[in-house]
Chains A and B, each alone.
Chain A
Amino acid sequence: MAMKFEKKGDGVYMLDVCGYVCPHPQIYCKKSLEKIGEGEVLEMIFDNPSSAETIVQMLDQAGHELMEKKNEGGKIVFKIKKA
């Protein structure tokens, strides 16, 4: 099992950590946001609901914008714009 971090387009990145449980999704989210530039977008896909609550608060505290969140058959997708 491996996490996936890919560049999807200009200023848009994808982080796939499906299968991972706490604390991996929140740690990978934090580290991915540290790697990308201001104003760039991170599309994060994960399936550990417990991580969602922490990630939302982490984004709020850091001032990043959670542009979109959806639940697709147990998979949670967050679209995050880095502040």
Chain B
Amino acid sequence: MEEKRNQIWAFVVTGLMILVSLLYYKTNVYYMYLVAYIWFGIAYGMMLQYGRFCFASASRDLFAAGVPRMAVGILIALIFFSVIQATLAATNMSTFHPAPFGVHTLISGMIFGVGMVLAGGCASGSLYKIGEGNGTSILSILGISFGQAMFVDIGGPFLKLVPDTWRASSVAKNLPADKVRSWFDYYLSGYVWDQPSIQLSHTQTFSNAFPGASKFFVADALISAIIPALVLIVVIYVFYIRKGFLKKRAKQTGKPTSFSDEFGGIWSMLTASKRTSLMGVIIGITAGIHIFVMKGMQIKFGISNFGELLTKMGHAADTSIRGTVFDPGYWYITSQEGQFGGWVLDKLGWDMHSNVFFGVNNGLPVPWRNPALWMSIGIIFGAMIMSLMSKEFKFKLPKGELILWGLLGGTLMGLGSRPALGCNIGAFFIRVAGGDPSGWLYGIGMVIGAFGGVKFFNWWSERKMAQEMADF
């Protein structure tokens, strides 16, 4: 009976998404651009839920429980995605762009890393967990949304912290004065935009050594993503799996282990969680196809940003002064949640248009015309469909300490993603696979932050266990 009910709800949610897509198509064919984001979101949500694919668990489960399944899953996804990304770049079908490189990326990653452990999920993980009925993750996403929106617009006493060099550099860019009012405005226009962006395939060294399309495969895929990913797989095996595996193998065979057993150990680690590793492969491929489809739609409609279509449809007020909205063209989380938070605060009377982040760069579209936000909503519904089908959906209200951890962790994730212009997906996964070394800098920051978060939770759990076990 319960199984039947779950199946019916899964069909209802799927039907609802089809209906929404048809309504957009009927309203204007330009909305098919937005519909593409919805369905890639649904696909990501289903895969993330099935594979329990959460970047927070990659370092957290490694440090807290010695379990490498998620770290391995992400590295597998990275390898596959980087090859497809290179293929797209080689055929001029990539929407990827590198980000400004600097120490801000490392610091942001550290803040994000602490936040994702406290919240119990990364940016994409929190979305799929909402789809499982997890109320704490709703709080995390609210923290991400409103934390970011407030952060990009707060000035007042924080303006005293703006260095003169940032002010001078910002003024030299001739931005409208009413758009540069917050600390973040000066940070972005006076510091971040001045930092160099690096994409390995575009550096002189690799351009000269590998002329033509081969530079994308060698520099961006092999050097930036595949070799580091393989090295990390071996390091994780050596530190977390090797000793236990070889001991077990020697006991089973009754013989001393040899070098070939090491390969057996690595393979056993890669296949220990089949669903996570399998989803790593499929997510990597899907993320590549997503870029291909969005680029194809941009070519079809003759645009480079969805803001141009919104303007054609009479919704110029949704866009920034440049006529753009946030439209990454690939898998990306957090900026769109920031736009949602900004839109709500704007409706409540907080002027959110007068800043660089929304006013100059990303616009503030109404939520139902926000393409990237629909991708996030798609992730929630995709995960809901999958969890209903596998009888795992259960609505859980956040209680007690989890309310604090959810809100605090979410806010820290928001604060840790904005200065780096991305989160675990946009600032790490996509960048590393695209040949941008700032992705690894963000990843290292995330691991350091997650280590700190795990240390705190270990102390916290010990304390609670000691109270609970006082009678034993």
Contacts and interface: CB of A to CB of B under 8 A. Distances in A.
Interface of A: 1-5, 7, 19-24, 26-28, 30-32, 35, 47-50, 52-58, 60-63, 71, 73-75
Contacts of A52: 52
Contact of A3 (B60, B244, B458, B468): B468
A61 B461 contact: no
18 contacts: A2-B400, A2-B468, A21-B120, A21-B136, A22-B57, A22-B120, A26-B64, A27-B64, A30-B64, A30-B65, A31-B461, A50-B125, A50-B132, A53-B275, A54-B57, A54-B70, A55-B65, A63-B244
Given A19-B396, A47-B394, A71-B391, A58 B66 contact: yes
Given A1-B402, A3-B464, A50-B57, A23 B120 contact: yes
B450 to A, nearest CB: 10
Contact of B469 (A5, A53, A62): A5
Given A3-B468, A26-B65, A50 B54 contact: yes
Contacts of B134: 21, 48
A35 B468 CA distance: 12
B465 interface: yes
Contacts of B137: 21
A50 B386 CA distance: 13
Contact of A22 (B69, B121, B458): B121
Interface string B206-244: 000000000000000000000000000000000001001
Contacts of A5: 465, 468-469
B469 A35 contact: yes
Contacts of A57: 67, 69, 272-273
Contacts of A73: 2, 394
A53 B276 contact: yes
B387 A49 contact: yes
Interface string B59-77: 0110011110110000000
B272 A60 contact: yes
| B interface: dominant SS | helix
Nearest to A29: B65
Contacts of A55: 65
B61 A26 contact: yes
A28 B120 CA distance: 14
B25 to A, nearest CB: 34
B372 interface: no
Contacts of A28: 461, 465
A23 B396 contact: no
A58 B62 CA distance: 10
A20 to B, nearest CB: 7
B65 A27 contact: yes
Contacts of B70: 54
A74 B394 contact: yes
A19 B139 CA distance: 15
Contacts of A56: 273
A32 B137 CA distance: 26
Given A1-B401, A49-B387, A74-B392, A21 B121 contact: yes
Max chain B CB contacts within 10 Å: which of A2, A4, A22, A48? A22
A1 B135 CA distance: 14
B472 A27 contact: no
Contact of A50 (B117, B129, B472): B129
B457 interface: yes
Contacts of B183: none
A22 B61 CA distance: 9
B300 to A, nearest CB: 38
